[in-house]
C-alpha cells in the first residue's frame, strides 16, 4: 500500500510540491480521462436500449423502465413509484400525461384514475444490458459478411505486402545491378505521393482491369508500400554478406537464400511491418469507399459509415457494431503496444 502511495505521490524532489508536479498529474489524469473516456462511453452506451439512448441527461448505467400490462389497454404501460397525497407510496402505471398532471391507475384497480403531479412520481427502473444490440445485427444486418470482407482484405493485403516488399528489399540490399539507385529514388520519391493525390487515375486503372467492385481492387493498390520496402531494406543491410556468400558456396539457390536465410533473419522487421499492415488495412476508408459500391462487398468501415449516414440512424445497433469494429484494434493495442511504440520511435513509421 505504501508503494502505491509512493507511486501516486512521487514528486520532483524535496518535501514540497513543485508546480510542475501538479501540472504533470493534471496532464496525466486529464489525458487518461480524455483518451479512454470516449471509447468507454461508446462501449457503455452500446448496451442501452433505444429509449435509454434518447434520454437526457444520460445515465451511466443502462436502465430500462419497467412496464406492465393493464386490463383494458392494448400495450404495456410504464410503471412509476408514486407519492400519494396522504404521504403513502404506491406503484402505479401511467395512462397519459396532460401538462404537469399524469393520469395514473393502480394495476389492481384499472378503472380508478388517479391524478398525480409529475414531480411526485419516479419511474421504476432496473439495470439491464441490451445485448440484443449485438445479437440483432449479427442475425439480420449482413454483419458477418462485412466482417468477412474486412478480414479477407486485411489478411490478403498483409501477406502480399510482406512477400513482395521483402523480395524487393532483398534485391535492393543484397545485389549490385545497374539502375539500383534509380529504383531506390523512385521508391523514395513516391513516399511523397499519398493516395488522395492519384484517386482519379487509379480509379480508372482499377476499372480498366475489371477490379471495380472487387475486394482485390481494394487490396492491390495498397500493397506496394514504399515505407515497407524502405524499412525492410534498412534491416536487411545489417545482415552480413558473408553469410550469403557462404550459402552460395554450399550451392544454395538464390531463392533458397532469400527464403531460408534472409527472411528468418528479418523476422523482427517483418513482424513490425505485419502489425502496421494489419492496422492500416483494417482501418482503410477512402479507397474502399470509392472501389466498393455493392453492399455485399462493403468492408466494416464502409458499412458503418453508410449505416451512420442513413436518415434514420439506429444508434443502438450502430454503437454496438462500432464496438465490434474496434475490438481487433484494441487487442492489437493491448498485446503489441510495446512493439508498435518502439517501432514508431525507431523508424517514425505509421
Partner 1 sequence: MSAAGGLVKTAGAIVTAPVRLLARLLDAPLSALQRLGGTNGMAAFFLLPNMAIFGVFVLFPLVVNIVYSTTGGTALFLANRNFVGAAQYQRLFSCDSYLDPKSCSEDLFWTAVWNTVAFVSVQVVLMVVVALITALVLNRDLRARSFWRAVFFFPVLLSPVVVGLIWRWILQRQGLANLGLYEMGFAPINWLVERNWAFAASVGVSVWAHVGFYALILLAGLQAIPKDLYEAAEMDGTRPARVFWRITLPLLMPNLLVVLVLVLIRAVQIFDEVYVLTGGGPGTATLYLTQYIYEVGFASALRNPGLASAASILMGLVLIVLTLFQLGIVRRNASKGQS
Is 77 or 228 the residue whose CB approaches partner 1 more closely?
228
Cβ-based nearer residue to partner 1, 131 or 253: 253
- Determine the Cα–Cα distance for residues 183 and 270; give it in Å rounded to an integer: 21
Question: For residues 200 and 349, what is the distance between their CA atoms, to the nearest angstrom?
Answer: 26
What's the rounded Cα separation, in Å, for the pair 174 and 340?
Answer: 27
Which CB, 113 or 197, lies closer to partner 1?
Answer: 197
* Closest CB 141 distance from partner 1, rounded Å: 16
Measured N-to-C along each axis, helices 226-236 and 143-174 cross at an angle, to the nearest 10 degrees, of 40
Judged by beta carbon, residue 84 or residue 331, the one nearer partner 1 is: 331
The least distance separating partner 1 from the CB of residue 320, rounded to whole angstroms, comes to: 11
Q: With contact defined as beta carbons under 8 Å apart, do 65 and 51 qualify?
A: yes
Could you tell me the smallest distance in angstroms from the CB atom of residue 283 to partner 1?
A: 4
User: Using CA atoms, how far apart are residues 244 and 17, in angstroms rounded to an integer?
Assistant: 60
To partner 1, the closest distance from the beta carbon of 315 in angstroms equals: 7
Nearest-approach distance from CB 5 to partner 1, in angstroms: 12
Instruction: State in angstroms the smallest separation of the CB of 90 from partner 1.
Output: 31
Taking the least distance from each CB to partner 1, the nearer of 114 and 211 is 211
Which string of b and e fits 221-259 if b means at least 16 CB within 10 Å? Answer: bbbebbbbbbbbbebbeebeeeebeebeeeebeeeebbe
Which is nearer to partner 1, 55 or 85 (by Cβ)?
Answer: 55
Number of other CB atoms surrounding residue 170 within 10 Å = 22
**Closest to 275 (Cα-Cα) out of 180, 207, 343:** 343
Amino acid at each position: 500500500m505504501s508503494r502505491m502511495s509512493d507511486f501516486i505521490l512521487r514528486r520532483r524532489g524535496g518535501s514540497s510540491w513543485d508546480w510542475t508536479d501538479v501540472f504533470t498529474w493534471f496532464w496525466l489524469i486529464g489525458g487518461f480521462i480524455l483518451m479512454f473516456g470516449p471509447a468507454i462511453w461508446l462501449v457503455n452506451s452500446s448496451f442501452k436500449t433505444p429509449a435509454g439512448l434518447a434520454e437526457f441527461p444520460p445515465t451511466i448505467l443502462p436502465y430500462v423502465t419497467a412496464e406492465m400490462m393493464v386490463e383494458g389497454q392494448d400495450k404495456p404501460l410504464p410503471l412509476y413509484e408514486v407519492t400519494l397525497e396522504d404521504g403513502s407510496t404506491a406503484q402505479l402505471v401511467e395512462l397519459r400525461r396532460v401538462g404537469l398532471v399524469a393520469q395514473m391507475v393502480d394495476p389492481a384497480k384499472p378503472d380508478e384514475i388517479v391524478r398525480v403531479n409529475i414531480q411526485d412520481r419516479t419511474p421504476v427502473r432496473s439495470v439491464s444490458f441490451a445485448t440484443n444490440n449485438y445479437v440483432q445485427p449479427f442475425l439480420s444486418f449482413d454483419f458477418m459478411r462485412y466482417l468477412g470482407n474486412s478480414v479477407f482484405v486485411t489478411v490478403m493485403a498483409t501477406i502480399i505486402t510482406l512477400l513482395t516488399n521483402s523480395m524487393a528489399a532483398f534485391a535492393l540490399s543484397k545485389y549490385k545491378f545497374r539502375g539500383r539507385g534509380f529504383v531506390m529514388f523512385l521508391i523514395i520519391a513516391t513516399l511523397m505521393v499519398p493516395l488522395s493525390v492519384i484517386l482519379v487515375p487509379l480509379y480508372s486503372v482499377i476499372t480498366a482491369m475489371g477490379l471495380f467492385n472487387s475486394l482485390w481492387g481494394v487490396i492491390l493498390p495498397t500493397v506496394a508500400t514504399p515505407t515497407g520496402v524502405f524499412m525492410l531494406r534498412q534491416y536487411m543491410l545489417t545482415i552480413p554478406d558473408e553469410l550469403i556468400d557462404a550459402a552460395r558456396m554450399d550451392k544454395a539457390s538464390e531463392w533458397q537464400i532469400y527464403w531460408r536465410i534472409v527472411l528468418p533473419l528479418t523476422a523482427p522487421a517483418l513482424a513490425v511491418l505485419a502489425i502496421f499492415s494489419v492496422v492500416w488495412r483494417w482501418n482503410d476508408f477512402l479507397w474502399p469507399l470509392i472501389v466498393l459500391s455493392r453492399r455485399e462487398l462493403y468492408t466494416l468501415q464502409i458499412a458503418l459509415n453508410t449505416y451512420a449516414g442513413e436518415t434514420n440512424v439506429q444508434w443502438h445497433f450502430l454503437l454496438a457494431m462500432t464496438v465490434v469494429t474496434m475490438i481487433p484494434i484494441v487487442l492489437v493495442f493491448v498485446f503489441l503496444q510495446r512493439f508498435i511504440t518502439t517501432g514508431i520511435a525507431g523508424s517514425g513509421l505509421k
